[in-house]
Structure 1
Amino acid sequence: MAFCDVTKREGETMPKPRLRWLAGLAGVLLLVVAAGLPQGVRAEYGDVVINNYSEAAGMRPVIFPHWFHRIRFRCKVCHADLGFKFKAGGNEINMLKIIDGEFCGACHNGEIAWSPENCNLCHSGKPGLKTQIHKSTVQTLVAPVQAGGKK
């Protein structure tokens, strides 16, 4: 049986897709995606790892995909309008502030982007990650100096 009968007779409206089948497909896709998610996401180049308070509160560190956001917004949106400092860990961000609409909560409010109740979407880092910009040029240049000039 076809997903949607696209033939149309004069005076008839186009038939709607079979919603049950579509919902079933969506459910299967959700299960496949959920089963494939790792238990701890690794930060990739340019991601900001935020772990000022997370592990102390029993949560995984936050992995903030900076470039994913940067593609969509100009720097001023977050760093001027929302008050984010240009330093990993430079802000006193906590869940109360986010729920009150500050920092990440300005967009992650359930209308613009998912709401703070979806903890694991942000708190997805491997335990033990330190607050940093992951694999930044600064880390690459400073590490050899701190190790006595040896790589």
Structure 2
Amino acid sequence: MAAALLALVMTLLLAPSEARAEYGDVVMNNYSDEADMRPVVFPHWFHRIRFRCKVCHGDLGFEFEAGGNEINMLKIIDGEYCGACHNGNIAWGVENCELCHTGKPGTETQVHGSTLKRLVTPASQSQ
């Protein structure tokens, strides 16, 4: 019984599906729609509990603004931005598209649940 329950939980966790962004996640859709790919949902807090801000925002050059970087797959493959770690050695590599490209097509680049976005976007336009 426990093995069956564990198998069910693992299947649900690992099954490719549209990811729901959680508060603080960054949805990146600068190029995804044009490339007929789902947007990337970057789990910011998952990374933040493991690394200091300096690692990504200082050493790797990420801007402190959603959409502030010109990240594309060529740069990632060349080891820039996400590719510094997601190279198949430190973390999974670029051949595992479905692990990052999990967002709902058409979702704009944003910090999900951003208080600032709620303050400047009329309620009728917010998602």
Does TM, scored on the shorter chain, surpass 0.5? yes
Cα distance in 1 between the residues matched to 2:39 and 2:87: 20
Q: What one-letter code is carried by the residue in structure 2 that aligns with 1:62?
A: V
**Structure 2: tracts of 5 or more residues without a match:** none
Cα distance in 2 between the residues matched to 1:57 and 1:127: 11
Give me the CA root mean square deviation. 2.4
Aligned 1:1-40 pairs, distance under 5 A: 29=7, 33=11, 37=15, 39-40=17-18
Cα distance in 1 between the residues matched to 2:8 and 2:37: 24
| Identity fraction in percent | 69
1:85 aligns with 2:63: yes
1:68 aligns with 2:46: yes
Cα deviations by residue, 1:51-83 (Å, 9 ceiling, x for unpaired): 000110010000000000000000000001000
Residue pair 2:16, 2:98 contacting (<8 A) in 1 also: no
Cα distance in 2 between the residues matched to 1:119 and 1:52: 16
**Comparing 35-44 with 47-56, which one deviates more in the overlay?**
35-44
Deviation at 1:105, TM superposition (A): 0.2
Give the corresponding residue for 1:140.
118
Between Structure 1 and Structure 2, whose CA radius of gyration is higher?
Answer: 1
Task: Name the TM-score, length of structure 1 as normaliser.
Answer: 0.72
Structure having greater relative contact order (Cα 8 Å, sep ≥ 6): 2
Aligned residue among 84, 93, 100 for 1:122: 100
Give the corresponding residue for 2:79.
101
Question: SS of the residue aligned with 2:27?
Answer: strand
- Identify, as 1 or 2, the structure richer in helix: 1
Cα distance in 1 between the residues matched to 2:13 and 2:41: 20
